[in-house]
């Protein structure tokens, strides 16, 4: 059975397009006039992303199942190549340059892992230790390679995706609790292996006032910027904290704070409302498809979407450590923008049947 244009989820599509368009408008207002190149680059990336969204929405679910391992292999190779790349930004090797194209493979690895986990765990009457082990063998290389870049924020996303999709696939609850307990012990014991700046981020999260002009600066200024917008915001082009560069990374990591300053609580509420629409519609698609490949992939995309929203907004208001994860469909960045729009296209296409 195929899906016609009439049965397409126009509510969800409208929310996705609204977020992408609002992002462009907001980037222009905070970048004008000396940093307007951010806006023009984002226009190109949104255009590419929307094109891929359209293509993905027309593809049958069977197509993604057939190419899951191929996509995984290509992305794995790209992640390995990143480790041997010469260029770095702020000491991190996260980008791969092929000709004139520069992209971040770790972003596309998120979708690749969702596809593979969906194929491994789909339609299983019981998730045994063999399925747990096989799925971990696919998740672990991504986690390690991304953590080595270093990008701990994205590395933890792979871990959460693996855990979340195991749970939704129907793993026995006692087995699930055992895995959670083991992960907690491993994460707690890994603190001593963190790099100094990573430890400082954790300490700044726990007590940003201890070093207000250093590691605590981003968190404190984010709170001030977000709260300064009040109910209706300071108005278009009047985001003082953002434009005077008190706010770190206003186009990427802390774009939510700049939105709060310029558009106020009402603007923030609208953004969160659009996210809520996408998540709830995605959950409906997942429930319709149950434990099938389509159901697990749609659930994985929504888990990814929710996690990055929660972590990004959380670090903006100070309830999560600063990780550098972009806000879906809002933050400046080609790889993230294209990946999320492609993921939304896959989600629309998952309403089709084999």
pLDDT at 354: 41
Residue-wise pLDDT for 82-96, tens only, equals 988 765 555 567 888
Cβ count within 10 A of residue 124? 14
φ and ψ at 353, to 5 degrees? -110, 170
**How far, in Å, CA of 66 to CA of 250, rounded?**
40
pLDDT above 50: residue 1: no
In the numeric block, which tokens belong to residue 340?
Answer: 């999320």
Residue-wise pLDDT for 13-64, tens only, equals 999 999 999 999 999 998 877 889 899 999 999 999 999 999 999 998 889 9
- Asked whether the beta carbons of 119 and 72 are under 8 A apart, the reply is no
Residue-wise pLDDT for 285-321, tens only, equals 999 888 899 999 999 999 999 999 999 999 898 888 8
Whether the bond between 150 and the residue before it is cis, its omega within 30 degrees of 0, is yes
pLDDT above 90: residue 204: no
Burial (CB count <10 Å: 0-12, 13-18, 19+), residue 116: buried
* Domain limits, the chain: 5-349
Check: pTM over 0.85? Answer yes or no. Answer: yes
Collect all residues with Cβ–Cβ distance below 8 Å to 146 and sequence separation of at least 6.
79, 106, 109, 154, 155, 158
User: Would you place residue 324 in the very low, low, confident or very high pLDDT band (cuts 50, 70, 90)?
Assistant: confident
User: Would you place residue 137 in the very low, low, confident or very high pLDDT band (cuts 50, 70, 90)?
Assistant: very high
- Asked whether the beta carbons of 249 and 312 are under 8 A apart, the reply is no
User: Would you place residue 2 in the very low, low, confident or very high pLDDT band (cuts 50, 70, 90)?
Assistant: very low
- Produce one character per residue of 158-184: b if its CB has 16 or more CB atoms within 10 Å, e if not: bbebbbbbbbbbebeeeebeebeeeee
Q: Among candidates 217, 212, 247, 216, which has minimal Cα distance to 229?
A: 247
The torsion of the CA quartet 112, 114, 117, 119, rounded to 10 degrees, works out to: -80
**How far, in Å, CA of 181 to CA of 347, rounded?**
32
Residue-wise pLDDT for 98-127, tens only, equals 878 888 999 999 999 999 999 999 988 788
């Amino acid at each position: 059975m195929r899906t016609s244009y009439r049965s397409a989820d126009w509510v969800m599509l409208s929310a996705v397009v609204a977020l992408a368009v609002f992002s462009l408008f907001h980037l222009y207002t905070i970048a004008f006039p000396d940093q307007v190149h951010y806006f023009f680059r984002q226009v190109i990336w949104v255009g590419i992303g929307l094109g891929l969204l359209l293509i993905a929405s027309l593809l049958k679910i069977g197509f993604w199942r057939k190419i899951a391992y191929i996509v995984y292999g290509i992305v794995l190779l790209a992640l390995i190549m990143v480790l041997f790349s010469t260029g770095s930004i702020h000491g991190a090797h996260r980008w791969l340059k092929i000709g004139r194209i520069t992209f971040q493979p770790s972003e596309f690895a998120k979708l690749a892992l969702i596809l593979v986990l969906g194929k491994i765990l789909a339609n299983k009457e019981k998730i045994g230790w063999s399925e747990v082990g096989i799925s971990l063998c696919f998740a672990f290389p991504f986690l390690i390679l991304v953590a080595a870049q270093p990008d701990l924020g994205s590395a933890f996303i792979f871990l959460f995706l693996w855990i979340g999709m195991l749970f939704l696939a129907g793993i026995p609850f006692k087995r699930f609790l055992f895995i959670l307990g083991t992960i907690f012990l491993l994460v707690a014991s890994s603190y001593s292996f963190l790099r100094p700046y990573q430890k400082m981020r954790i300490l700044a999260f726990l007590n940003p006032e201890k070093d207000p002009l250093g590691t605590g600066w981003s968190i404190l200024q984010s709170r001030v910027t977000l709260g300064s917008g009040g109910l209706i915001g300071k108005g278009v082009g009047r985001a003082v904290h953002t434009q005077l560069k008190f706010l770190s990374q206003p186009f990427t990591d802390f774009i939510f704070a700049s939105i709060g300053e310029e558009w106020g609580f009402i603007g923030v509420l609208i953004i969160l409302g659009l996210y809520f629409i996408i998540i709830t519609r995605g959950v409906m698609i997942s429930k319709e498809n149950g434990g099938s490949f389509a159901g697990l992939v749609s659930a994985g995309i929504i888990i990814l979407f929710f996690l990055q929203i929660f972590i990004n907004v959380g670090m903006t208001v100070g309830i999560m450590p600063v990780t550098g994860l972009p806000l879906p469909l809002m933050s400046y960045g080609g790889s993230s923008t294209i990946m999320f729009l492609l993921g939304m296209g896959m989600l629309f296409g998952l309403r089709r049947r084999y």
